[in-house]
Structure 1
């Protein structure tokens, strides 16, 4: 019997332990010695918190093809490093201007804005070093494919471009379709990349990769819609960050477009689409199914 809570906890512990080991001044040095203050800020922004859902997706997608969790860990760390960099930069005064993250001061509050920018840059850069190393995968062709996938998911056609659209949307006037495109890029693209990276680790064929991509795109929509609902319904203490920021800053969301009940109904349909995309994989995809449902039902 599959136990989602046990896998979530096991993955989070594995990621935390490995990140702690990798984010070390000595390991990050070369050609010069790593600046210890920026490494400390990188650690502040990535350790001691987070559900590690994106590495979980890498692991679960790889497991569909029989890849052991240990062999998916380095690629999962790379995705998590990109995610943590994005949070550090999103929290900056020029972006979302948040003082807390995961119940602690954001990096620019704990250190300063310049150090926070550099900490994010450091995590982003290290992500690609992780994917390029032989420890990630012995086949250089696969490693190149992983690098390409993460670059697409995190770049201007993915997460970075989605964040730009989000900022533009604060002026108002986005249609529902434009909101969906923005969210598919801002949040969905890295979730999509996580699942596809796991599939690439498992040498998925074109048909399997297509099905997993459909799952990932639906799961990404579910995650963002649930996040928008929580921003309206949860407290800052529950979220570990400031609640109600979307409405306050004029961000365009589907909750604003559909209303709370309409958004919840839409969320149910999206999760069903995600689960249906996995129908050909049988019990091997039970983890991915559970994660999609978790995205919709989480409380923080």
Structure 2
């Protein structure tokens, strides 16, 4: 199965599980509407796609990862809602639509993001296809990747370093956490469901670091040379917000080379595993060649 067919088939199931779960929640209509507004706003679904592709690479039933992939997209969507808030990036548009707080107000947007972040874990606990020890390991890893030592910690580092001149080491530290940690869970979480050894999980983690850096460099490049209509949000927002980026630090051409270097390192690590990795490789290629 090629990536397009794989994506269409399995991501449809992820979204069906997600929306059905949200609709079972007993909460105020406006909060449910706010959650669904951001979750169904589109997006590339790269993280859940990568998790499911990892299961495929280890010849494990991909359906065993649907709930976990849904949980991962919940947390990613939560981070986007919170990132767009006036206290954070103060963005008005996301995926070509008004950001959540512009439609529902800041308070409801905060709560929608909180609900997605917390309820993601319940999606995993309710998965009847996985044994309890695997679910515990997934939740442990997901909370590490998304919490204070992961994505949220990276966001704080980003805030603390606004208006500062950064070196490459600090820039990578921020992006490894803010962007890379959910990609780490996509690969490592897939490995956990596939019941892989720690040595394999370590290689997946290292590969995620490199593709995470490549992902962020591509974002920085698109912010300079991307198409606003395709991206779905204003370009040059990093410069307007005085954010230090790879393009600002290295220049456009050197940033492109840096992206290629990290992409190739990620590929080499995946090749080292000798698995059926063609879908993972296609997703890595999608990450560095995307136009939004």
Give the TM-score normalised by the residue count of structure 1: 0.94
State the 4+ residue runs in structure 1 displaced beyond 4 angstroms. none
SS of aligned partner of 1:97 = coil
Deviation at 1:152, TM superposition (A): 0.6
Measured after TM superposition, the shift of residue 173 of structure 1 is: 2.2
2:155 equivalent to 1:163: yes
Once the two structures are overlaid, the 10-residue window that deviates more, 163-172 or 183-192, is 163-172
Deviation at 1:22, TM superposition (A): 1.4
**In the TM superposition, what is the alpha-carbon distance from 1:283 to its structure 2 partner?**
5.4
> Where do 1:138-157 residues align within 5 Å?
138-157=130-149
Q: Does the 8 Å CA contact 1:226/1:296 hold for their aligned counterparts? A: yes
Contact 1:184 1:221 in 2 (8 A): yes
Taking the aligned partners of 1:194 and 1:152, their CA distance within structure 2 comes to 13
CA contact (8 A) 1:225 1:267 kept: yes
Question: What is the count of residue pairs matched by the alignment?
Answer: 292
Corresponding residue number in structure 1 for 2:36: 43
Q: Distance in 2 between matches of 1:5 and 1:289?
A: 13
Take 1:19 and 1:133, find their aligned partners in 2: how far apart are those partners?
Answer: 12
Report if the CA contact (8 A) 2:211-2:263 is conserved.
Answer: yes
Structure-1 separation of matches of 2:9 and 2:220 = 27
The aligned residue for residue 269 of structure 1 is 261
Cα offset, 1:61, TM superposition: 1.3
Distance 2:118 2:109 in 1: 14
Q: How much has 1:258 moved relative to structure 2?
A: 0.6
Given the alignment of the two structures, is residue 133 of structure 1 paired with residue 126 of structure 2, yes or no? yes
Please point out which of 205, 222, 231 is paired with 2:223: 231
Shift of 1:168: 1.6
Aligned to 2:206: 214
Gaps of 5+ in 1: none
Hey, what's the Cα distance between the residues in 2 that align with 1:9 and 1:48?
A: 17
Cα separation, 2, equivalents of 1:64 and 1:237 = 35
Cα displacement (A) at 1:72: 0.7
Structure 1 equivalent of residue 115 of structure 2: 122
- Aligned-partner Cα distance in 2 for 1:61–1:227: 23
Call closer, same or farther: CA 1:283–1:194 in 2, change over 3 Å.
closer
Alignment of 1:63-212 (within 5 A): 63-135=56-128, 137-212=129-204
1:150 is displaced (CA, Å) by: 0.6
The alignment's C-alpha RMSD in Å is: 1.3
- Aligned pair partner of 1:28 in 1, 25, 28: 25
So what's the TM-score if we normalise by structure 2?
0.96
Answer with 241-250 or 184-193: which moved more.
241-250
